[in-house]
Structure 1
Amino acid sequence: MDEHLITGGDQEQLVERAFHLYFEGLHRYAFTILKDNDEAKDAVQSVFLKLWEKRAGLDEQQSVKSYLYTAVYHYCLNIKRHEKVKDSYISASSNVTGVQEHALVSKETYQQILQHIEALSPQCRIIFCKSRFDGMKYAEIAAEMGLSVKTVEVQMGKALRILREKLSEFLVTLIIFYLL
């Protein structure tokens, strides 16, 4: 395959050929950054999904290989940033004083909530954390991640819906426990 995506044939076939040609190398590259096989695969798949979604507006002169490696690199950096934020948030919450230990949300509860957040798809999780933990506005998140504001809104709605569903049983149990 030529280094350039737009060299003949339809764009769908060219994106598919790029996937088959570059996926393994991109996966190895993502793995060197993330040190997690599943996260690396998710990162590469997310980049190819973005390429697929933007296939109609691709620049003829842009190298597919360099575009993909750069996109995977930035996607992996976003995941690493999210991990740093999460780790600092966990360490800050583990420094609980005696008064805070009696708060409604215990460390165990907090860990369960974090597990459900981690179970979100990578893009959904990153957007949720940027909004809720970093305090970023949807427009800021969209600009940083190269997405539309509407995509960020949809992903936040998805995250909140999933978390509501996953945590609803847990919240009912907490309410019953505190009423007794």
Structure 2
Amino acid sequence: MKKRDKSELFLHLFHSCHEKLHRYAYTLLRDSDEANDIVQTVFARLWEKRETVVFEEDIKGYLYRSVHNLCMNNIRKDSARDRYLSYRTGDRDNFMQGGTEQQTLARELEKHIAQATGALPEQCRVIFLKSREEGKKYAEIAAELDISIKTVEAQMSKALKLMREKLADYLLTILLILHINHLL
């Protein structure tokens, strides 16, 4: 198939499916902007792969599955961010009001989180803090910093990996202490 033919098929597919895919993503996310970002990402990835993709009848199934998967990833990511923000605000306060041992553990945890965050490379740290402390979505961060969403995703992935590595031993110790105290 000629390059021009694939481009024309892609444009036809985009115009005929974009609105339906957006509605589908919206039913999962309940956020029009996020749904639009997801659909745009799916089409951008398809455009990047246009030379190897076969534009046949099953391409629509591929598009819907891609939208579904990205929506689920987005929901999981938002859930993790919400849990982190919940700890950083209300739940942390409840934890800090516990016994002296809990307060000490909470202060230690905050100290280690601050150290691990401070050790991140600068762009990684800025993106991580905007996501986790300011609660911004990847698209918002990308627009604010004038970088691509892919860069934000890559930097967040790097930040989370580094944070897990730096905090793994400490968090395991805290969980064991809390579990033992709960059993007593």
Structure 1's unaligned 5+ residue stretches are 1-5, 138-180
Structure scoring higher RCO (CA < 8 A, sep ≥ 6) equals: 1
Find the counterpart in structure 2 of residue 115 from structure 1: 134
Q: Report the structure number with the largest CA radius of gyration.
A: 2
Bigger fraction of residues in helix: 2
Identical counterparts, % of pairs: 30
Q: 1:115 aligns to what SS in structure 2? A: coil
Q: 2:36 aligns to what SS in structure 1? A: helix
Structure 2's unaligned 5+ residue stretches are 97-102, 115-128, 143-148, 165-184
| Mapped partners of 2:162, 2:34: distance in 1 | 24
Matched, 1:130 2:157: yes
Find the counterpart in structure 2 of residue 26 from structure 1: 21
**TM-score normalized by the length of structure 1:** 0.57
CA drift of 1:125 comes to: 4.1
Q: 2:27 aligns to what SS in structure 1? A: helix
CA drift of 1:90 comes to: 1.2
Residues 21 and 39, structure 2, Cα contact 8 Å, conserved in 1: yes
Find the counterpart in structure 2 of residue 66 from structure 1: 61
Residues 26 and 32, structure 2, Cα contact 8 Å, conserved in 1: yes
CA drift of 1:78 comes to: 1.0
Q: 1:84 aligns to what SS in structure 2? A: helix
CA drift of 1:112 comes to: 8.5
**TM-score normalized by the length of structure 2:** 0.56
Find the counterpart in structure 2 of residue 35 from structure 1: 30
Residues 82 and 129, structure 1, Cα contact 8 Å, conserved in 2: no
CA drift of 1:7 comes to: 10
| Mapped partners of 2:47, 2:131: distance in 1 | 35
| Mapped partners of 1:78, 1:112: distance in 2 | 15
1:75-114 paired onto structure 2 within 5 Å: 75-94=70-89, 95-96=92-93, 97=96, 100=107, 114=133
RMSD: 3.5
